[in-house]
Amino acid sequence: MTPTGPTAGRHAPGPPVPWHSRLFAAVSFYPTLLWNCLLGRWLRVRNWWDPIDPLVFVGGYPFAVDAARLHALGVRAVVNTCAEYAGPEQEYARLGIEQLRIPTTDFTHPQLADVQRAVEFAQDHVRQGEGVYIHCKAGRARSATVALCWLIQYR
Contacts 24+ apart (CB under 8 A), 87-91: 87/4, 87/62, 87/135, 88/62, 88/63, 88/64, 89/4, 89/5, 90/64, 91/64, 91/67
Q: What confidence category does residue 6 fall into, taking pLDDT thresholds of 50, 70 and 90?
A: very low
pLDDT at 3: 44
The sign of the CA dihedral 21, 27, 32, 37 is: positive
pLDDT at 5 over 90: no
Distance CA(1)–CA(140), nearest Å, equals 28
pLDDT at 150 over 90: yes
Mean pLDDT rounded to a whole number for the chain = 91
- Helical pair 112-127 and 142-154, crossing angle rounded to 10 deg: 60
Alpha-helix residue ranges (DSSP H) falling in 46-141: 64-72, 89-95, 112-127
pLDDT at 93 over 50: yes
The catalytic residue positions are 136
pLDDT at 19 over 90: no
CATH class of the region 18-154: alpha beta
Domain boundaries, the chain: 18-154
pLDDT at 28 over 70: yes
Taking the complete model, does pTM exceed 0.75, yes or no? yes
The arithmetic mean of pLDDT across residues 122-146, rounded, is: 98
Whether 148 contacts 115, CB under 8 Å: no
Q: What confidence category does residue 1 fall into, taking pLDDT thresholds of 50, 70 and 90?
A: very low
pLDDT at 12: 52
